[in-house]
Every structure is written in structure tokens, then in C-alpha cells.
Amino acid sequence: MQITRVRTHGDPSLWNTLDVRKGYKFQQHEFAEHYRILDANNLRVHMGVDSNSARNTFLELTNEELWIGNM
């Protein structure tokens, strides 16, 4: 998997951390239905609106089993 890391912009208090594994943070925006994954340096490695896709990308990055279902 090729990863593009992007500096994050905006207020970090608007993001709720849903899970942390192996230095990666899986977050959801407090108001918008957006999800993002940050690496250990707080660089964004994924952004999207599909919770299942975002969760599976997070689990793939952390070498965990893929997750199927609703959040």
C-alpha cells in the first residue's frame, strides 16, 4: 500500500479519536461525517466519508484483521 502523508489543518479539538494502534489514530470529525487516519507524527494518511472503508484502511495499516459492519 502506497501512503501519501499530508500535514493536517484545522482545529484538532474537532476530531474525536476512535482508536489508536501502532502509532496510528483513527478519528471522526465532530460535526461532519468525515474520517481520517493520522500517523505517529500527526500526518494524515487517509481521509474519507465511508466509515467501513476508513476502518478497513486503519486496520490494514496496523496489520489487523479487516472489519465488516456498521460503526
pLDDT of residue 10: 60
Check if the beta carbon of residue 56 is closer than 8 Å to that of residue 66.
yes
pLDDT of residue 37: 95
Q: Does the pLDDT value for residue 68 go beyond 80? A: no
4-54 pLDDT per residue, tens: 777 776 667 899 999 999 999 999 999 998 999 999 999 999 999 999 999
> What is the chain written as a DSSP string?
-----EE--S-GGGEEEEEEETTEEEEEESSSS-EEEE-TTSEEEEEES-HHHHHHHHHHHTT-----S--
Going from N- to C-terminal start, the domains of the chain cover 6-61
Q: Give pTM, 2 decimals.
A: 0.81
pLDDT of residue 64: 75
